[in-house]
A = this chain, B = another copy of it.
């Protein structure tokens, strides 16, 4: 019999990368079509599978949600403050929410941003 070590992995492996983006490109923050394109590209870069993208104009700003097979990506923008918040929440070790987040930061032209990570894995 082989000696072995039993490794336990959670059944649902999830990670969320989120943050605040400052001094962004105001024109991009207003541009629904451009934001939808950016969120699509970010999902590709993070190796996620997009099911749907929806957006809503809220005043000057836009809220964009990508529902991905692995959970979701959201961007909320406040062009009047050149401010946006981004959440990339994805399940599965094949995905890279960090790469997707960084891509969005770059494309929104943020001069400064905060970044946080939350473990969204199950305990079992």
Decide if B76 touches A65 in the complex (CB within 8 Å): no
Given A65-B67, A67-B65; A20-B122 close (CB under 8 Å): yes
Decide if A22 touches B67 in the complex (CB within 8 Å): no
Decide if B14 touches A85 in the complex (CB within 8 Å): yes
Closest to A81 in B: B11
The count of residues in chain A whose C-beta lies closer than 8 Å to any C-beta of chain B is 34
Decide if B63 touches A56 in the complex (CB within 8 Å): no
Interface positions of A (Cβ within 8 A of B): 11-12, 14, 16, 18, 20, 22, 51-52, 54, 56, 58, 63, 65, 67, 69, 71-72, 74, 76, 78, 81, 83, 85, 87, 89, 91, 114, 116, 118, 120, 122-124
